[in-house]
Amino acid sequence: MNEQALLTTTARVIAVQDDIVSIESLGETPLTKNEVVYILPSRSEAKHQERLKAEILRIYGNRADAQVYESTIGVGVGDPVEQSGELLSVELGPGLLGQVYDGLQNPLDVLATEFGFFLPRGVDFPALDRNAKWAFTPCVQSGCKLLAGAALGNVQERRFKHKIMVPFDIKGEVEVTWIQQGNVTVDEPVAKIRLSNGKEQLVTLKQRWPVRNPLTQTMLRNNVNQRQYPNEPLVTHLRLIDTFFPIALGGTGCIPGPFGAGKTVLQSLIARNSEVDIVIVVACGERAGEVVETISEFPLMTDPRTGGSLMDRTIIICNTSSMPVAAREASIYTGITLGEYYRQMGLNVLLLADSTSRWAQAMRETSGRLEEIPGEEAFPAYLDSSIKSIYERAGVVGNADGRTGSLTMIGTVSPAGGNFEEPVTQSTLSTVKTFLGLSADRAYKRFYPAVDPLLSWSRYLEQLNPWYQKELAPEWTGHVQDILQLLAHGNSVHEMIQVAGEEGVTMEDFIAYQHALFVDMVYLQQDAFDDVDVSVPLARQKETFMLIVKLISADYSFTDQNHARDYFTRLTGLFKNLNYAVWQSNDYKQLLDKIADLKAM
């Protein structure tokens, strides 16, 4: 159960307010910000001594305020406090993939097996299985000189070569003095390195890292890593995103929208179909029913890239809205630290946070209990900087071994009433470079995805233009901009029709409206329940998009508005069937011929 050895009592509780506990040092060991401490409630009714995990948030003299990650019932003044001497950290090593953790990296399946549905307080388990054996294969020899983060060898973790690296906190060059091959647990040494000061240190398969300390930032300061400019898109196989509102591989994006607009469904399909190596899903305050659905569905689904289970490349961090507030706040930091770890191996990682609004609400509750000066809507004054510090940990990073990895972060925001002017949404929009705004109106009409093309934007479109010109078509970005303008013009005509009727608009404007409606119906929308249309490869997107450009650029001689409407209705029906047909199949080719024949009429 608890892996930590019993520590010496070095502080005591002096006040309790909900999950905020004030402690006072007994003078032996100084208190440190973000240090993990354990509170031993003396008034608890539990049969065993509970050790409640907490993190120091604020220090004043020999006193400090700490947030407790569990219920504080039974905690009273005078209760002993143990200091761990360690910042809030996670374990990094083989065995992370396929796991479901809480915000403090406790494996929920192990806890459930041990205790059932109701988890007792003061209990935690090691994140990595201490009994599992891993076949370690060295990739360096004794005498090699390496920097922090350089690979010593690897073990096979599911379908990945999991690299065992020189500890990240080491400064300067180290020399490998001993290394072995064999089957070992995560606690057994596989190598010994000599530090720059002459001391030797054993290296195991696992290491620990403080979650609030960006791993990449530390490596950059030590001149080990180098940030690189994102130059290719994250291919999601969703036409609307890949074509009109791309997210760079190693970039940032957000999906704000009202309740019921499809944020969780959209994130789930992005997780399943995106061309990345690792997916980390952080349910930081989402409703429990939706999280259970994710946990139960993912192991049963096939990874479209490998044919294996989706969980083979997935980690789920689960802190629902019914779990402790403090643990919810820590869950994003836990998830992004795991993402940085796999990025350091040279892998492409996608982190999905659902939803950052509830994460921000957890910060608001904690800030209120600390009696800090509130900002807008009672959120803490540092809300904006906290959101920026999270998204800034995404990016493309190269390391000393020549490996390049990326960490892409997409967060959902749940503004009350769909109000995009509220603080969390606004702070997020000022940070990310892709905004996929969901519309309640489009969701009500059963449009999927319910992303409003008139609200959404991507600052990556121009940035990724060289990639699009090389991989798709030289004129690709120009066509995209033209279609976006067409959609805006079509919406304006639609509003005029709502007021003046169809007879109140010119034939030219009516055709433009039909063009925009056609693009919306056959390209912006996808059928999430159709095995073919749910995931569209980029090559097929290119072919479909260029066909649409050709169709709406053609000259038509319609006799009247009814003639134009009838034509585009038939064209839309053929095109939807085309979307459902397997690419390059006989049905697909026959439908292309029918579309060509209809155009010639």
> What digits encode the pLDDT tens for the residues 85-98?
999 999 999 999 99
| Residue 428 sits in the same domain as residue 529 | no
Average pLDDT over residues 3-12: 72
Give the pLDDT confidence score for residue 286 in this predicted structure.
63
Largest distance between two CA atoms of the chain: 92
| Residue 397 sits in the same domain as residue 343 | yes
pLDDT category, 183, cuts 50, 70, 90?
very high
| Residue 311 sits in the same domain as residue 411 | yes
- Closest-CA residue to 357 (of 287, 407, 420, 285): 285
| Residue 40 sits in the same domain as residue 159 | no
| Residue 375 sits in the same domain as residue 439 | yes
* 415 annotated as a binding-site residue: no
- Domain presence at residue 109: no
Domain boundary among 179, 205, 231: 205
In whole angstroms, give the CA distance from residue 330 to residue 104. 7
* 474 annotated as a binding-site residue: no
pLDDT category, 487, cuts 50, 70, 90?
very high
| Residue 185 sits in the same domain as residue 253 | no
| Residue 329 sits in the same domain as residue 393 | yes
- Domain presence at residue 105: no
CATH number of the domain encompassing residue 265: 3.40.50.300
pLDDT category, 601, cuts 50, 70, 90?
low
3-state helix, strand, coil in the chain (%, to 5): 35, 25, 40
Give the pLDDT confidence score for residue 3 in this predicted structure.
45
In whole angstroms, give the CA distance from residue 593 to residue 601. 13
- Domain presence at residue 210: no
- Domain presence at residue 123: no
CATH number of the domain encompassing residue 488: 1.10.1140.10
* 257 annotated as a binding-site residue: yes
Domain boundary among 151, 185, 205: 205
| Residue 65 sits in the same domain as residue 166 | no
Count the Cβ atoms, other than its own, within 10 Å of residue 306.
12
Note the pLDDT tens digit of each residue in 108-160.
888 888 887 777 788 888 999 999 999 999 999 999 999 999 999 999 999 99
* 501 annotated as a binding-site residue: no
In whole angstroms, give the CA distance from residue 490 to residue 250. 34
The answer, yes or no, to whether residue 268 has pLDDT greater than 60, is yes
| Residue 252 sits in the same domain as residue 376 | yes
pLDDT category, 505, cuts 50, 70, 90?
very high
Q: What is the CA radius of gyration of the chain?
A: 27
Helix (H) or strand (E) holding 388: helix 383-391
* 418 annotated as a binding-site residue: no
Domain boundary among 162, 186, 205: 205
* 61 annotated as a binding-site residue: no
* 198 annotated as a binding-site residue: no
Average pLDDT over residues 183-195: 96
- Domain presence at residue 459: no
- Domain presence at residue 172: yes
> Can you read off the two tokens belonging to residue 319?
């802190």
Count the Cβ atoms, other than its own, within 10 Å of residue 135.
11
Asked whether the beta carbons of 231 and 518 are under 8 A apart, the reply is no
Q: Which domain holds residue 285?
A: 239-452
In whole angstroms, give the CA distance from residue 131 to residue 2. 16
**Cα of 206 vs its chain's centroid, Å:** 23
Domain count of the fold of the chain = 4
| Residue 483 sits in the same domain as residue 435 | no
| Residue 291 sits in the same domain as residue 384 | yes
The answer, yes or no, to whether residue 250 has pLDDT greater than 70, is yes
Give the pLDDT confidence score for residue 2 in this predicted structure.
45
CATH number of the domain encompassing residue 166: 2.40.50.100
In whole angstroms, give the CA distance from residue 72 to residue 50. 11
Give the pLDDT confidence score for residue 362 in this predicted structure.
87
- Domain presence at residue 308: yes
Q: What is the mean pLDDT of the chain?
A: 91
| Residue 314 sits in the same domain as residue 438 | yes
The answer, yes or no, to whether residue 538 has pLDDT greater than 50, is yes
Asked whether the beta carbons of 147 and 166 are under 8 A apart, the reply is yes
Average pLDDT over residues 328-335: 90
- Domain presence at residue 129: no
CATH number of the domain encompassing residue 57: 2.40.10.170
